[in-house]
Structure 1
Amino acid sequence: MKKLFTLILFFIGFVTFSQTDDNPILVNPTVEKVSDTEYDLIFNITIAEDWHLYSQYNPEDASLPMTITPAEGESGYTISGKAKESETETEFSEIWGKDEVFFVDEATIVQRITITDTSLTQITLNLDAQVCKEYCLPFDEDFTFSLTGEAVEQTVAEVSDKSKSLSESLKLDLKNTVLLKSSTDKAGDDKDSSLLNIFLLGFVGGLLAFLTPCVFPMVPLTVSFFTKKTEQKGKGLGSALLYGFFIILIYALLSVPFHYLDTLDPEILNNISTNVWLNVFFFAVLIFFAGSFFGFYEITLPSSWSNKADSASSIGGIIGIFFMALTLAIVSFSCTGPILGSLLAGSLTSSGGAMQLTAGMTGFGVALALPFALFAMFPGWLNSLPKSGGWLNTVKVILGFLELAFAFKFLSNADLVGHWDLLKREVFIGIWTLLALLMALYLFGFIGKKYGKISLFRVLLGICSLGLAVYLAPGVMEKPAWSQSKLLSGFAPPQFHSIYQQDNKCPLNLNCFKDFNEGVAYAKSVNKPILLDFTGWACVNCRKMEENIWSQPDVYSVLSNDYVLISLYVDDNERMLPEDEQFDYIKPNGKVKRIRTYGDKWATLQIANFKTASQPFYVSLSPDLEILNTPEQYTDKDTYLKWLKSGLDRYKGN
């Protein structure tokens, strides 16, 4: 899939900017008066070579179609239908599997409006579109039109000479940038793989939710309802399948609001997921959810919601079936809510953001809906289902321990980003070891309610939990005898975030720089290539790469001996830059972003030069900033080692 990157263009009136790959379209707004109350507002658009701009009539489920709407706060006029467009081109997209409609070279968009407030002299419309070539950029800007023919007063951000200079310093003089474009296809493949993984995780979460006391007992009742409601077996079966479809739809729709965040700024989801206090909030919420699973209290949505949905389900037909599915979602919230909360929090801490959340929610809905469809097709299977009983409560308690374990992951994120140094790696592993031990004691019946006899399956689960505790326990020691606790790679704090004395604060005690300019200067002095590592304190895949890939002897040797490592933490938003290094960054649209922290600086440097906001993101550079090969991201050991060596060979001229 094509990856969206940020482009923010700012044109008001007749302002013109130079056309570059960071600014691929020019817009000149003009006005033609049709009558005393009607005007044609015209967007005259010039499109850079090799780029194309999508039409209003591009399919909704393909690349984003263009929209024209009144700017926020605008009133006193109405828009008369869709705008008229100049000639477009149509081409089949293998990515979306359908014809796409777009403009090439130039476009003229004519939007007619009708004035209802005759005192208006200016009107501002928002043009929201997508422009693409090898990769795509969002275009979302307001344009002001003068109805009187007078020049539109411009608002230009004023910044100091220091800010101008420091803004320019973030734009690197990179060479061989063609290699950046070839990395977009791989990024799309990685994203597809990530979406599949989160779908499967959501599916597992849905299966766990199915085995809870809130959902499992409803299967026989619901399936019996569909199979007995109609005399025609096929009709009852179709209704049950439609019921399952609506369950999937309802859970997928829960993720829709988060897609709005994805369109604002490529850093926004990263900023949300790494926000210290939001991670503390997630920690508190998951602790609260765990308490409900342990039976201390019950989390439910207002009973009026379920009553209204249940009443609506009696309408009959498709609408009635939809409200039956909605009733299930509401009534089962006390069991599904904690799992969904974990899925929400986990998705926002990944680079996939809203798309991963949708994939996870869809997987959850599929797993929850599948039993209803299958048992409707084969009602005889109902007889083989185990009866509801104490085992369902055992499942809830196990989920409670899992919620507690994940809760400390979010507290660890806050600790790392906030530089509190409270939850060091060994403390974190110690807590997970204790939780595994407590869960084993519960499963063996030594603590908590037994809910009847201890079954063989429960004993086996207890042995597995005890084995996990034994496996993790050595991780609290300075030099574990036999376990490095790699099962926690990406979840536990990095190995240098330790209660024991470390040589430095770099991954695996490698020599690294956390300032770009210092690293480049050192690389020039020792005549070595640079490994530019865009990473994050709360980045799971970054930790997995460091602890599972970088730790391999042959990879470690190359990193240690042949490269100068520059690790830039894009979520380091609690550590302020020195006062004289804080500045206002001038975006391509003329708007301003305040650079106050190290995280602000490195995240902006990554987006401005490499057009991506994902981590980990690795770039091999020569000391004079020549890109040596295609940037790499999260990958396997052999691919990464080959990538390191290819960059080294190019630098040496082999």
Structure 2
Amino acid sequence: MRKLLVVLLLLTGISGFAQLGNQEMNEPVKWFYKVEKISDTDFNLIFKATIERDWHVYSQFTKEGGSLPMTIKFENLGTDYELVGIAEEGDTYTEYNDIFEVDETFFKDELFVKQRVHLLKGDIKAIYGKLDYQVCKLVCINGSEDFAFSLTGQKAEVKKKELTQHDIEEADKLEFVAKNTHYLEGAQKEKSYWEVFVLGFIGGFIALLTPCVFPIIPLTVSFFTKRNEKSSKGKANAFLYGFFIVLIYLLLSVPFHVIDSMNPDVLGNISTNAILNTAFFVIFLFFAFSFFGYYEITLPTSWSNKMDNASSVGGIVGIFFMAVTLAIVSFSCTGPILGSLLAGSLASDGGAMLLTVGMGAFGLALALPFAFFALFPNMLKSLPKSGGWMTTTKVVLGFLELAFALKFLSNADLVMHWGILKREIFVGIWVVIFVLLTLYIFGVYRFPHDGKGKISKGRIGLGIVTGVFAVYLALGLFGVNKLQMLSGFPPPSFYSIFKDKGEESDLTVFQDLDEGLAYAKEHDKLVMLDFTGWACVNCRKVEELIWTDPEVNKILKDRIVIISLYTDDRMKLPENEQFKYEYDNGSVKEIETVGDKWSTMRYINFKTTSQPYYMLMTTDFEYLNKPMQYEPLEAYLEWLKEGVTNSER
């Protein structure tokens, strides 16, 4: 089960992300097709591909339980033609995969597959189908390729999805005939990485306090200082060890840069994809119960054994593998924290660089003690002894993992409109979680790995904090306060068992563009396009903390109609409103959901994938100032005032 969980995390975090955007990726595989005529009714269909260096594509016949095999799907098979025998493959390689514990078969550099077919009808001119495959290097990409084999000697074109007049008419509605488009020039703001750095550093510091990492600090520092006769050399090696720890965690983010360079949108999709959010919910539950002591999640033992052997090598190489060994053996404690950092970073619109910043900060927090105590080895004696306090730390982290897990399930619930985690239910479960945490801290009950002992003053203080927080949540549940400290984290206030959307708001808000524009024209008001999302934390913060500010609220109420367009809404459009949109590069996107429609509109007109994203304009699409993203109250208020002033000129 431990290895299964590791595999689930890896596949969810890498292959899953890539799959979301495979239609727009430049994949490292180039395909070619050839037909060999055997007779008037029999042909060999030959699939060839060149594979970029260091990449590999898995065979159709790789063993189950490993990476995804290549599959070939033929159209009209059994009616127009039939397959003769199984497909023949060219040179392949077989290697044992330690993670999946199976032998995997794959192609390198070149791919060759030959499939014989026998025609059942005499008028077949071409054979069409689709290839699905997985190509891997540092990251795995799930790719697909439409193919066409001509049986007449003439070129066969891959079937293209023809656009109908309905498609063209609906697509025209997505593009604004706007005025004052100069406001869009340079409108994208630079992303601040400070918050992610701080969160990553805090995560690394918390990981230091766990039983997997804390006891290693004095042992490792003593090893470096005693091993070398010269204290200066011991200190230098300890610094080098710390540097390698930071480097290792930075390297863990490299695969996501590979994905991000192929499709910048794919990493942001994690925050709106129901399957991925549900997968993270399950993973975090596993992590939580591991922290509670019911089982231990570790990477395969063979990995740690190999790294441990490599660390015995002297010099820089040995120190590097010592750092790798630390990362592997501490995974059961650092994995859940890294999982939180991974999900949080990729759910934002900052791309892979945010993850790199967070991972670097995490590694820095882990590395600093080794460098610090190497400089001042005598201070090692002042470190607290390992003991029950570290067990308490793990259990507290377990409860926090439960709380975070609920957020991922809430994301999936919101975008899919399941209605299972309304705001009251979400907050109510959090109340239970933090009440149970408080009772644990005060020793009312224990977990299997807990020892007996007195409740320390520090633990009492922590129990008071969690108890007060539980009371704060309970008061919010009963409407005494609006939980502004947690704004954006629970479901929005309108996603309620007892209230409908807009019941508490005095603002004019529409979720349909045409309806909103018609109302604004009738009442002579300005329009604010609000590209938002159900799973967007910053969107909720703006709505609950900024739009409720008296001065902001007055401007919005008196002068502006808000049109909120949910770009992650998975509700299906009526069939007569579904259509195909063709991008400039020739790729065709199926517009099937509400979110498909609004996210495509946002990209066409503003060339952005960010949310929240606000644009002030008149009803005839005259932009009044630059677009606004998530900003503090003061900046948002000034932006509103500027737009209203420009409309009066």
TM-score over 0.5 for the pair: yes
Mean alpha-carbon deviation: is it higher for 244-253 or for 69-78?
Answer: 69-78
Match of 1:514 in 2: 511
How much has 1:554 moved relative to structure 2? 1.4
Task: Say if 1:577 and 1:506 are closer, same or farther in 2 by CA, change over 3 A.
Answer: farther
CA deviation map 1:233-290 (0-9, x unaligned):
2221111111111111111111111223323444323333211121111111111100
Match of 1:617 in 2: 613
CA deviation map 1:443-489 (0-9, x unaligned):
11112146421100000000111111111111112xx23x2111211
Matching of residues 184-199 of structure 1 within 5 Å? 184=188, 187-188=189-190, 191=191, 193=192, 195-199=193-197
Q: Is the 8 A contact 1:534 1:617 kept in 2?
A: yes
Q: Which amino acid aligns with 1:571?
A: D
Matching of residues 133-144 of structure 1 within 5 Å? none
Mean alpha-carbon deviation: is it higher for 234-243 or for 211-220?
Answer: 234-243
Structure 2: 5+ residue stretches without partners: 1-20, 33-47, 54-111, 113-144, 146-153
How much has 1:511 moved relative to structure 2? 2.5
Task: Say if 1:79 and 1:196 are closer, same or farther in 2 by CA, change over 3 A.
Answer: closer
Match of 2:333 in 1: 335
Match of 1:13 in 2: none
CA deviation map 1:530-560 (0-9, x unaligned):
0110100000111111111111111112112
1:462 equivalent to 2:460? Answer no
Q: Is the 8 A contact 1:270 1:571 kept in 2?
A: no
1:545 equivalent to 2:546? Answer no
Match of 1:174 in 2: 178
How much has 1:615 moved relative to structure 2? 0.5
For 1:500 and 1:318, how far apart are their aligned partners in 2? 63
**Count of aligned pairs between the two proteins:** 513
State which of 198, 201, 213 in structure 2 corresponds to 1:200.
198
Task: Say if 1:296 and 1:508 are closer, same or farther in 2 by CA, change over 3 A.
Answer: farther
How much has 1:431 moved relative to structure 2? 1.4
The SS at the match of 2:564 is strand
Q: Which amino acid aligns with 1:360?
A: G
Matching of residues 594-605 of structure 1 within 5 Å? 594-605=590-601
Q: Which amino acid aligns with 2:169?
A: S
How much has 1:634 moved relative to structure 2? 0.6
CA deviation map 1:335-378 (0-9, x unaligned):
00111111112222211232211111111111011111111111
Match of 1:608 in 2: 604
Structure 1: 5+ residue stretches without partners: 1-7, 11-67, 81-116, 118-141, 143-150
Task: Say if 1:69 and 1:210 are closer, same or farther in 2 by CA, change over 3 A.
Answer: closer
For 1:79 and 1:639, how far apart are their aligned partners in 2? 48
CA deviation map 1:425-445 (0-9, x unaligned):
111111112212111111111
State which of 231, 240, 243 in structure 2 corresponds to 1:242.
240
1:161 equivalent to 2:119? Answer no
Q: Is the 8 A contact 1:496 1:508 kept in 2?
A: no
Matching of residues 627-638 of structure 1 within 5 Å? 627-638=623-634
Matching of residues 76-475 of structure 1 within 5 Å? 158-184=162-188, 187-188=189-190, 191=191, 193=192, 195-448=193-446, 449=450, 451-475=452-476
Task: Say if 1:77 and 1:258 are closer, same or farther in 2 by CA, change over 3 A.
Answer: closer
For 1:177 and 1:606, how far apart are their aligned partners in 2? 14
CA deviation map 1:73-110 (0-9, x unaligned):
36799999xxxxxxxxxxxxxxxxxxxxxxxxxxxxxx
Q: Which amino acid aligns with 2:234?
A: G
Task: Say if 1:606 and 1:159 are closer, same or farther in 2 by CA, change over 3 A.
Answer: same
For 2:634 and 2:408, how far apart are their aligned partners in 1? 31
Q: Is the 8 A contact 1:283 1:411 kept in 2?
A: yes
For 2:302 and 2:451, how far apart are their aligned partners in 1? 34
For 1:470 and 1:347, how far apart are their aligned partners in 2? 30
CA deviation map 1:506-544 (0-9, x unaligned):
884533111112212222222111011010000011111
The SS at the match of 2:614 is strand
The SS at the match of 2:294 is coil
The SS at the match of 1:183 is coil
Task: Say if 1:70 and 1:618 are closer, same or farther in 2 by CA, change over 3 A.
Answer: closer
For 2:251 and 2:173, how far apart are their aligned partners in 1? 43
For 2:423 and 2:610, how far apart are their aligned partners in 1? 24
The SS at the match of 1:520 is helix
Q: Is the 8 A contact 2:442 2:459 kept in 1?
A: yes
The SS at the match of 1:182 is coil
Q: Is the 8 A contact 2:288 2:401 kept in 1?
A: yes
The SS at the match of 2:267 is helix
Task: Say if 1:152 and 1:365 are closer, same or farther in 2 by CA, change over 3 A.
Answer: farther
For 1:329 and 1:79, how far apart are their aligned partners in 2? 31
Q: Is the 8 A contact 1:507 1:546 kept in 2?
A: no
The SS at the match of 2:312 is helix
Task: Say if 1:78 and 1:341 are closer, same or farther in 2 by CA, change over 3 A.
Answer: closer
Q: Which amino acid aligns with 1:565?
A: I
Q: Which amino acid aligns with 1:379?
A: P
Q: Provide the alpha-carbon RMSD of the alignment.
A: 2.7
The SS at the match of 2:311 is helix
Task: Say if 1:509 and 1:338 are closer, same or farther in 2 by CA, change over 3 A.
Answer: farther
Q: Which amino acid aligns with 1:452?
A: G
For 2:27 and 2:483, how far apart are their aligned partners in 1? 54
How much has 1:182 moved relative to structure 2? 3.3
How much has 1:220 moved relative to structure 2? 0.7
Task: Say if 1:638 and 1:380 are closer, same or farther in 2 by CA, change over 3 A.
Answer: same
For 1:317 and 1:165, how far apart are their aligned partners in 2? 68
For 2:28 and 2:466, how far apart are their aligned partners in 1? 58
Task: Say if 1:450 and 1:511 are closer, same or farther in 2 by CA, change over 3 A.
Answer: farther
For 2:49 and 2:589, how far apart are their aligned partners in 1? 32
How much has 1:498 moved relative to structure 2? 1.0
Matching of residues 484-563 of structure 1 within 5 Å? 484-502=482-500, 504-505=501-502, 508=505, 510-563=507-560
Q: Is the 8 A contact 2:271 2:411 kept in 1?
A: no
Task: Say if 1:603 and 1:264 are closer, same or farther in 2 by CA, change over 3 A.
Answer: farther
When the two structures are superposed, what TM-score results if normalisation uses the length of structure 1?
A: 0.75
For 1:77 and 1:411, how far apart are their aligned partners in 2? 41
How much has 1:635 moved relative to structure 2? 0.7
CA deviation map 1:298-353 (0-9, x unaligned):
11111111110000011111111111000000000110011111111222221123
